[in-house]
Amino acid sequence: MKADNDEDKRIILGRISGLHGVNGWLKIFSYSRPRENIFSYIPWSIKHANGSWVMQKVSEWKPQSKGLIAHFDGVDDRDAAQAFVGLGISVAREQLPKLAEDEYYWCDLIGLKVVNQADDILGTVVEIQETGANDVLVVKGDERYLIPLLKGSVIKQIDEEQGQMRVDWDGEYI
């Protein structure tokens, strides 16, 4: 079962990956699809090195080359912006759209125990990878499994309350 704490109520949407120019602009790496959707959920909370979350308002943003850049209120030079590089960007769960009953945000799947149809515990979901054809669960236990995230054919049941996912996946498939 997942703990109900402040950390669980946050959704990580991206990170600050670098500096852009000398006027305080920052490079943004977005986990959203399309990547520009990260700006639909402003204001952001930024996790500082000391572990505290600080609300940060984006005053301006734009696409840049193959990425995104943003400017924060009150961050007007490169030195001030440097303090944000490498930090995570999150929003409160309430800022995101409500999902249908059989839909999940990736962050809700990370940490679930994965059990196959023979009741073998394969491990825990540690990551989800985006591939061209379908997303893939990275499950780590005694072995490392790459399991296609295909509801119905492979993913049989997701029980967030029990912290478990049932899959049609043989332990022989690594």
Q: What is the reported pLDDT for 107?
A: 86
| Spatial separation of the C-alpha atoms in residues 34 and 92, rounded to whole Å | 19
Angstrom distances, CA of residue 150 to CA of 24, 82, 89, 166 = 42, 41, 28, 12
Q: Domain spanning 106-167 has what CATH number?
A: 2.30.30.240
Q: Do domains 6-95 and 106-167 have the same CATH topology?
A: no
Domain 6-95 belongs in CATH node 2.40.30.60: yes
Q: What is the reported pLDDT for 23?
A: 96
CB-CB contact of 138 with 146 (8 Å): yes
Q: What is the mean pLDDT of each run of 10 residues along the chain (174 residues)?
A: 50 94 96 91 88 91 93 96 95 88 88 95 94 90 94 94 94 66
What pTM was estimated for this model as a whole? 0.73
| Spatial separation of the C-alpha atoms in residues 6 and 105, rounded to whole Å | 17
Q: What is the reported pLDDT for 8?
A: 55
CA angle 92, 155, 14 (to 5 degrees): 30
Q: What is the reported pLDDT for 174?
A: 57
Q: What is the reported pLDDT for 50?
A: 85
Q: What is the reported pLDDT for 7?
A: 53
Q: What is the reported pLDDT for 14?
A: 93
Give the residues across from 72 on adjacent strands: 58
Our CA dihedral for 120, 168, 161, 122, rounded to 10 degrees, sits at 30
Q: What is the reported pLDDT for 3?
A: 36
Domain boundaries, the chain: 6-95, 106-167
